[in-house]
Structure 1
């Protein structure tokens, strides 16, 4: 009688790698989840501990897990990427990582612009402004802290908007087409307020993106977007100068 061939022709290494990677990318094993110990995976797959160790090392090099001595291996938060020359919707950034997205508005203040507001918006006369603070989440963890100032002369509709259904950035893009944008990028240590908003320790390295946009010559908004530094990177595509 002819032996039936095993339909799964992958090596044990490939099979374990595919299984563990699949659980991470699908969200079944979310960031912070401790994956089974080496001896547990060895028993589960009936293989050598060396095979399991090689798989875990490969996943660590790919940035999917962190191996901690004596503690085990833990799923890392995926790195997100922002394009330097684009205005990206944070919801799209989060969902591209396979994480559930939500946001909440933690501050909403209408006032006449003070000196600091005028500097942020590049204005030389006082106007009514709306100040917002918003936390964006990827899964259960804070993903980005947004601090925004809106020129109500440019976007009077924002005065009545609660931002309960849509986050400020996509709402603004729909209301007022922007013609010019400016990005300023810094590495900073988290202030006390930022640390509390992002649920990180004060002084934790963060990536700060400051953006200012105009419609024709009229300033629309200035926003500070602060990301925990270990989980975010910036990407730009460019071409040689035609000089």
Structure 2
């Protein structure tokens, strides 16, 4: 058997790599039920104990959930963001060991609308850049980014190529900020948002709205909408002195 001839570590790693690869690639999406242990043991011509060790390791890593009498299922990976930090979405996705990509869905140069004035706290008629991006974790939509940039203070954004670099990543690298504000709320997905996120209309979503300022004044307002089951916000703090 594998325990006595030295094959188990190599076979264990092969099974682990095969299953991890199918999960990370999206071939086995969240909710997919894995083959039963007895079937995997037969497939790899190994002991059920070897397969059980693999499944235990996958469960500890958060890739699968083991349910009594039902089997093992691929879990929905959950990203965490610190409430008081400005995080790069690509880094959040890669922290889940998933490939990152994004698409720029809309881009519009315009004079600030009444809604833009309220969100950015700029004067009526200020030129702004409005964009909508969809960020992906593997094959699944991770979040929708709706962003306004104040071109009075960031004029170079008007000609930046946001098809290759996402707006948030570009701003972090190009424009220093001195103050930020976060607002966090739960909403039900409207039809358009549900379509962009690939979820059902009315599904729970987590919305993070952020405004940033520099010494020149307002820089950007962004609304990030996540499917409610894929994201968590954390904060670490100490007692007030």
Which of the five TM-score ranges fits, normalised by the shorter chain? Answer: 0.7 to 0.9
Q: Distance in 1 between matches of 2:47 and 2:161?
A: 57
Contact 1:143 1:228 in 2 (8 A): yes
Aligned-pair distance for 1:38? 3.6
Q: 1:47 — aligned with what?
A: 48
Alignment of 1:1-243 (within 5 A): 6-7=5-6, 23=18, 26-30=20-24, 31=26, 32=29, 33-43=32-42, 44=44, 45-47=46-48, 52=52, 63-66=62-65, 73-216=72-215, 218-242=217-241
2:23 counterpart SS class: coil
Aligned-pair distance for 1:6? 4.8
TM-score by length of 1: 0.81
Residue by residue over 1:185-238, the C-alpha shift from the partner in whole angstroms, topping out at 9 and shown as x without a partner, is 111111111111111111111111000000125101000001111111111121
TM-score by length of 2: 0.82
Aligned residue pairs: how many? 230
1:230 counterpart SS class: coil
Contact 1:155 1:175 in 2 (8 A): no
Q: Distance in 2 between matches of 1:105 and 1:238?
A: 36
Q: Distance in 1 between matches of 2:143 and 2:227?
A: 7
Aligned-pair distance for 1:59? 5.5
Q: Distance in 1 between matches of 2:67 and 2:223?
A: 34
Aligned-pair distance for 1:8? 7.1
Q: Distance in 1 between matches of 2:59 and 2:169?
A: 35
The RMSD of aligned alpha carbons is 3.0
Contact 1:183 1:212 in 2 (8 A): yes
After the TM superposition, list the runs of 4 or more consecutive aligned residues in structure 1 that deviate by more than 2 angstroms.
Answer: 4-10, 18-24, 26-31, 41-48, 54-74, 123-126
Evaluate the alpha carbon distance shift between residue 8 and residue 235 of structure 1 in structure 2; reply closer, same or farther with a 3 A threshold: farther
Aligned-pair distance for 1:165? 1.6
Residue by residue over 1:86-136, the C-alpha shift from the partner in whole angstroms, topping out at 9 and shown as x without a partner, is 111111111111111111100001110011101111224430111100011
Residue by residue over 1:125-182, the C-alpha shift from the partner in whole angstroms, topping out at 9 and shown as x without a partner, is 4301111000111111111100001111011111112312210011112221010000
Q: Distance in 2 between matches of 1:19 and 1:89?
A: 33
Q: Distance in 2 between matches of 1:238 and 1:20?
A: 42
Contact 2:16 2:54 in 1 (8 A): no
Question: Gaps spanning 5+ residues in structure 1: where?
Answer: none
Aligned-pair distance for 1:66? 4.4
Question: Gaps spanning 5+ residues in structure 2: where?
Answer: none
Evaluate the alpha carbon distance shift between residue 23 and residue 216 of structure 1 in structure 2; reply closer, same or farther with a 3 A threshold: farther
Contact 1:27 1:98 in 2 (8 A): no
2:229 counterpart SS class: helix
